[in-house]
Each structure stands twice: as structure tokens, then as C-alpha cells.
Amino acid sequence: MSGGFPDTFGNNQILGTIFIDRNDFNSTFPNVVATMKNLKWLDAEHNKFSGTMPSTIGNLKSLRILNVNNNSMTGNLPDSWDETNFVEDFEVADNKFQGKLPPSLAKTMYLKDFRASRNQLSGEIPEAYYQWENLEELYLDGNDIVGQLPQSAVPFYSGLQELSIHSNSFTGRFPVEHFEDTFRIKVLSLHNNQLTGVITPNICARRNTSLTYSRLDHLTADCDDDKIKCDCCTCYENGELMDGTGR
């Protein structure tokens, strides 16, 4: 299907799910979506939608899953979220979104999966994001996000299963100790930043192929002399993937 999403769906009070992914829609993102008060799931990934996402998307209090990955959308991410939003899955990867991460998104208490990889986002991760207790997957790789990760224990760390922040401008020490006591983490993708520190033997032991539930499947880091020391990482040096593992 191509063209635009029809305006005739405006103010529809019944429609709960819209699956239009992997088509050829090529209009601006349909603002009419933000008028569907009972919309719970919108999957519009892999199309050619352009333009901005309406700020009124936060008015959809029943919305749980929003996926617009792989489009051509621009502008800032909407900053109109609050404690009454039930969104669990917010995916906007592979677009052209700009500006800072929306601070109000931290108010969504049920968010589990936030994917904003390969956009043009900048600034720091809002401090309030580190209070998310239900977050399991965070993908921010391929942007221009800066700042340091908290060195103290925060709720954000204990529930994470996948953390991908590679190819940004993070600095400072990676707080590896906060990942040693959780058996949930499966992905740590840290390369192409300015992070420092040491990946400990406790973390490396989790790469054992005989492990199942507690196995760390993916671990990357910058292994330059002045960055992260790691004996079990998939290593990058001067921004390039090295042959072999660890250094």
C-alpha cells in the first residue's frame, strides 16, 4: 500500500490496533492517529512516513505500543507524556529525529522497551530516566548523545536486559559493578564512545556458552589503551573492529 493514511479514521473511538508496517506509505505521519482515543497498538515501521510526530500523541492514554522504526520522520520526539500514559514499547529507530531526549518520557512508569537508534539525537540522557524501574531494553546507539552514566546504583540498572549506547559521545567510567549482580543483562554494546574502566572477570564469566538464562550474549567495547580494559569483549580500536576477542 502507498500514499497516505486516510483521514476518515479521525476520532475513531473503537479502533484499538493498527498494523500497517512494511508497506510503501509515503505521506507525512498521520496526525489523525492522535485522535483515536482507544488506540493501544500502532505498528507503522518500514514505510516512508515523513514529517514530525504530533505532540498530542501523549494524549493517547491507552497506547501501549508505538513503533515507527525505519521511516523518514524528523523534528523532536514528543514531550507530552505523564504518569497516566501506559506506553510500554516506544520504538523510533532509523529515522531523522533531532534534539534532546524528551524529559517527560521519564514519567511513563510502565516503559519496558525504548529504541531510538540511528537518529540525530543529542544532549544527555535525562537524569529522571535512571529512575525507570521497569525498563528492560534501551537502544540509543548511533546518535550524538553525551554525558556520563551514573556511578551510584539506580533503578535503571537492575532491570536492564539490553543496553546499546555505542557510537555516541559518552564519557567517563562505565559502572560495571552495577551489572555484576544481575543475571538479566544480555547485551552491553559500548564501543565508539569515550568510556573508560575495566570489564571484570565476573562479567566475563557470563559469556560462557554453556550458560542459558544468565548468559551475556553480546559485549562490545573500545579497547584502546586509554579506554576500556576487557579480556572477553568484542573489541574496537580507533573506531574499527579488531580481529579476535579481548585485550
Residue 207 within a domain: no
Euclidean distance between CA atoms 135 and 157, whole angstroms: 9
The DSSP H or E segment spanning 203 is helix 201-204
- For the record, the C-alpha cell of 208 comes out as 560462557
Residue 234 within a domain: no
pLDDT at 178: 94
**Domain count for the chain:** 1
Euclidean distance between CA atoms 127 and 31, whole angstroms: 30
Q: How far is CA 168 from CA 139, 145, 165, in A?
A: 11, 5, 7
- The candidate with the shortest Cα–Cα distance to 159, out of 137, 175, 188, 128, is 137
What pTM, to 2 d.p., does this model score? 0.95
Residue 149 within a domain: no
Q: What CATH code is carried by the domain that includes residue 82? A: 3.80.10.10
Residue 50 within a domain: yes
pLDDT at 181: 77
For 107, the domain range is: 1-131
pLDDT at 245: 60
Residue 154 within a domain: no
Q: In terms of C-beta density within 10 A (0-12 exposed, 13-18 middle, 19 or more buried), how is residue 152 classed?
A: exposed
Name the CA dihedral angle for 92, 62, 29, 55, rounded to a multiple of 10 degrees.
-80
Residue 109 within a domain: yes
Per run of 10 residues, the mean pLDDT along the chain (length 247 residues) is: 91 94 96 95 97 95 98 98 97 98 97 98 98 97 98 94 98 95 90 97 92 92 95 94 67
Euclidean distance between CA atoms 44 and 224, whole angstroms: 40
Euclidean distance between CA atoms 32 and 37, whole angstroms: 11
Residue 100 within a domain: yes
pLDDT at 183: 81
Euclidean distance between CA atoms 118 and 69, whole angstroms: 10
Q: In terms of C-beta density within 10 A (0-12 exposed, 13-18 middle, 19 or more buried), how is residue 27 classed?
A: middle
Residue 112 within a domain: yes
Name the CA dihedral angle for 80, 83, 85, 88, rounded to a multiple of 10 degrees.
110
